[in-house]
Chain A
Amino acid sequence: MSDVAEASSSGGETSQTGAASDQMWIVGIHMTKFGKRPDDDVVDLASEAALGALDDAGMTVKDVGVLAAGNLMYAAHGVGQMLQKQIGQTGIPVYNVVNACATGATALRTAIMSVRSGEADVGLAVGVEKIAGAGLLSGGSRASDSPTWEASGRFGAVASTDGRIGTEIMPGVFAQIGMEYGHRYGGADFELFARISEKNHANSVLNPLAAYSKAMSLEQIMGDVMIAYPNTRPMCSANCDGAAAAVVVNGTTLKKLSLEQQRRAVKVSASVLTTDPWEEACQILPNVNTLTKNAAETAYEAAGVGPQDLDLVELHDCFATAELVHYDNLGLCSEGGAVDFFESGAPFRDGSMPVNVSGGLESKGHPIAATGIANIWEVATHMRGEAGDRQIEGAKVGLAHVIGLGSACGVHILERAA
C-alpha cells in the first residue's frame, strides 16, 4: 500500500471520481427491517446486513480484508466470529467492538481506520442487536438489598441507589438533559418536546424499514403513558431487533471498481469519535453536549464543510428531549437557539435543515449497535438519490450522529460522489 502512503504525504492525488487514494468511500451499505424479528437470531440479522452490504458493493466475503463487528448484548461471545462461521471464515482480522449506543459508529470507524492504515483494501463493518421487548435497559440494581447494611462500591453504598439517589433509567437521564437545556435557555416545555416527537413519527410514515411507521398526533403523544417526564412512551426510542452493515474502501481500491460502483460510492468526508472531557457535573448527570460539540467541530474541519452546507442530518434522538440539545451541539443553530430553530420549521423534512427524515430512533427503532450504521445508511441512501418517497432532493452533504452514554460520540459526514 505504498501508493496510499505517498498520496497521504503529498496531500493526495485524484482519480476521475475526484478520489484521493487515502480518501475513504462507502461502496456498499445495507439496513435490515427494524422491529420484532422473532424468527431471526443475532447471527441471522448480522448475516442479512453483511451480505446485503456486500451485494450492494458488488463484492463477496472473499474480498473483505477486515471485519469490525458491533454488538452489545452478546459482546462477550464474539459476534464477528459468529458471523464469519455463517458467511465465510476467511481468516481475516476481526475487531469486536462495544461503545454503548455509539457501537455501530465505532465499528464503522474501526473498519475505516484499518483500511486507512493499509491493513486491508476492503473493510466490512456490521452492527447488530436483538433487544425487542427488553424493557428498561438500565437501572434496577434495586432488588439486591442485602439483609444487613454493608457499604460497597465506590460510593460506599449500603443499598442500591437507583430511585433513592436520582434515577439510572435512560428516559429519566435524557429527560433531565432536555430540562437542563430548557433551564439554561428557556422555551423548552413538555409540548415542545412532544412536537419534536410528532415530527419524527410523521417522517416515519415514509420509511418502510422503520419499526413503527405511523404518524401520531400531538394529543396522542402527550396523552400516552408517561415514562419519565417529559418523555412519554412515543418520545422514547423503541428497543427492537435489527442490523446494518457497510463496506468501505480507499480511493485506490475505488478506482479499480466499475464506473457504476464509483458513481454510487459515498464519500466519507469525516469519521470522528470523541469521549466526554471532564467538566463540573459530568459525573452527576452525563454531559452529552461537550463531546458532541467537539466531535462536530472536528468533523466539520476534517470535511471542510460547515453546518450550513448540510442537506440532511440524522441525529441521536434516543429521546425527544435529546434531539433538542443536539440541534445546538451539532451547530445547526446558534448557541441556545435550539427552540427557535425548531419553531422556525428548519428541521422538518420540507425545512432548510431536515433532521431525522428516517423517523428517528423514536419510530425507526433503536437496536443499539445497529443504530450507528443505520443512521449512515439513511444519509448514504439520500446521497445516492435512492431514498424513494422520502428522498431529500439534490442532497449532496449529510451528517450522521450517535451518542452512547458513558460517553462516546460518533459523527460522520458523507458526501455524494459526483
Chain B
Amino acid sequence: MGEAIPLVDYLVLGNDPHLEANECVACGARFFDRRNACASCGAINSDGSGFKRVELPATGELTAFTIVSFAAPGIEVPFVAGVVKCGGTSVRANIVNVSPDPEHVATGMQVSLTTFGIGEDSEGTEAIGFGYEPADEELRITDDAIEKAEANS
C-alpha cells in the first residue's frame, strides 16, 4: 500500500484526523488558506509568526446546505454541500453518508468529521478527502446501503 496525502493542507491525517485553521495571533480570525496578512485586522504575516495553527473540533452543527443535482462533468450528483460550524469556526464541506434528500438533511443537525479515499495516483499514493456525516448513527447510511437502494429503485 502506498502513502496517503490529504486533499488539502488543512486536513491533518493520522490516528485522529482533524482540520486545522490558521488563526491570527492579533485578533483570532481564522482562515484555511495560506496567509499574507489578516483580512480581519490587517496584521502582517511576513515571517510566518502572525498566525498559529489551531485544531478544530471534529463535530459541529450544519448551518446551511444545498443538494447539488446539476454540476460540472465528472462530479457525481446528487451530493450535499454545506457549512458546518465547529466550535465557532465555519467549515465548507460535503455532508456524506446520508441520503441526499431534504427529508434526511436539515440545518441544525449535528455532524462529525469523517475521511475517505478519493483515489490513487500513478505512484500508488492515495489522496484522502473529508466530509461530515450525521452524528446520529441512525441517520447515517453507508455506500453499500445507497447502492442497494439504487438497485431496488
Contacts and interface: CB of A to CB of B under 8 A. Distances in A.
Contacts of B82: 166, 176
B5 to A, nearest CB: 5
Given A155-B8, A278-B40, A283-B31, A163 B75 contact: yes
Interface string B78-110: 010111010011111110000000100001100
Contacts of A141: 72
Which of B30, B71, B79 is packed against the most chain A CB atoms within 10 Å? B71
Given A149-B121, A151-B9, A159-B118, A179 B65 contact: yes
B119 to A, nearest CB: 8
Nearest to B10: A155
B92 A165 contact: yes
A164 B64 contact: no
Interface size class of A (residues with CB under 8 A): 35 or more
B30 to A, nearest CB: 8
A284 B66 contact: no
Contacts of A180: 63-64, 83, 107
Contact of A154 (B34, B90, B129): B34
A209 interface: no
Contacts of B76: 163
B37 to A, nearest CB: 11
A163 B68 contact: yes
Interface string A114-133: 00000000000000000000
B39 interface: yes
A227 B108 CA distance: 23
B138 interface: no
A161 B72 contact: no
A10 interface: no
Contacts of B64: 176-177, 179-180, 183, 285
B125 interface: yes
B142 interface: no
12 contacts: A148-B125, A149-B5, A162-B71, A166-B83, A171-B66, A175-B66, A225-B70, A228-B66, A228-B69, A230-B102, A278-B29, A281-B90
Interface of B: 5-10, 29-34, 39-40, 63-76, 79, 81-83, 85, 88-94, 102, 107-108, 118-119, 121-123, 125, 127, 129-130
Interface of A: 136, 139-143, 146-149, 151, 154-159, 161-167, 169, 171-173, 175-177, 179-180, 182-183, 190, 225-231, 278, 280-281, 283-285
